[in-house]
Amino acid sequence: MEKSQWLPYLEKNLSPRRYRHTLGCAKLADELAKIYQVDSDKAHVAALLHDVAKELSVEAMQAEIKKTDITIPEMVRDNPALLHAYASTAMAQSKFGIDDEEILNAILYHTTGREAMSLLEKIIFIADAAEENRTYHPQIKQWRQQAKKDIDNAVLQVLEYNIIRVIQRGFLLDENTVKARNDLVMRNVR
């Protein structure tokens, strides 16, 4: 798809709330990319596409993933909270023609994080968690400000909040989230 068609596509295919979140995510990703001297085109593209599959049914997400050679871990297969990151990565490849590994990994790990995240992955993780339209936690604004000064510390705070929230709700906890958190603690990020 031509890049000029991306925003019309997203506006048409996402709910107004999700579209606003996507634009907020792109705005914060742009800002963080500038601060940390990360390729701003990559950050912008990853932010725009990170949730492109979020509102599909589980079956439609699985169908999008089947078009690519992405494999789905068993615990992710029927879990839309995790599956949408895989499906969005698949759509970035098949529908939007993205073949850059760094962009694809930033989309794939935007929900869970992973061990030894790249700066681009951290930027998309934080942009998703703490963009200006987010309201799920009183600390979001602090996370956003902290990310501009010390992104590792902000990522650690969000990972720890996510781990607690996932357990409190009785959801499956992705091991990548635990590894991402331990990795940052071992590097004395706190």
Residue 131 touches Fe ion, criterion: CB under 5 A: no
Which residue, 75 or 185, is less far from Fe ion as judged by CB? 75
Is residue 128 a contact point for Fe ion (CB under 5 A)? yes
Told to check if 183 binds Fe ion by CB under 5 A, we report: no
Question: x/- site string to Fe ion, residues 74 to 113, per CB under 5 A?
Answer: ----------------------------------------
Alpha carbons 111 and 129: distance in angstroms, whole number = 8
**Closest to Fe ion by CB, 82 or 185:** 82
CB of 80 to Fe ion, least distance (A): 10
Does position 51 interact with Fe ion (CB under 5 A)? The reply is yes
In the complex with Fe ion, the residue whose CB is nearer, 128 or 183, is 128
**121 touching Fe ion, by CB under 5 A:** no
Q: How far is CA 115 from CA 4, 8, 47, 177, in A?
A: 35, 35, 20, 8
The region of 35-43, 46-54, 135-143, 172-180 touching Fe ion under the rule CB under 5 A is 46-54
- By CB under 5 A, the count of residues binding Fe ion is 2
Residue 29 and residue 127: Cα distance in Å, rounded?
5
DSSP string of 85-127, one letter each residue: HHHHHHHHHHTT----HHHHHHHHTTTT--TT--HHHHHHHHH
Q: Is the dihedral of CA 140, 143, 148, 149 positive or negative?
A: positive
Q: Which is nearer to Fe ion, 64 or 128 (CB)?
A: 128
Q: How far is the CB of 95 from Fe ion (least distance, A)?
A: 17
CB-nearer residue toward Fe ion: 37 or 125: 125
CB neighbour class for 81 (10 Å; exposed up to 12, middle 13-18, buried from 19): middle
First to last CA, the chain: 42
Q: How far apart are CA 182 and CA 173, in angstroms?
A: 14
174 binds Fe ion (CB under 5 A): no
Interface residue list for Fe ion (CB under 5 A): 51, 128
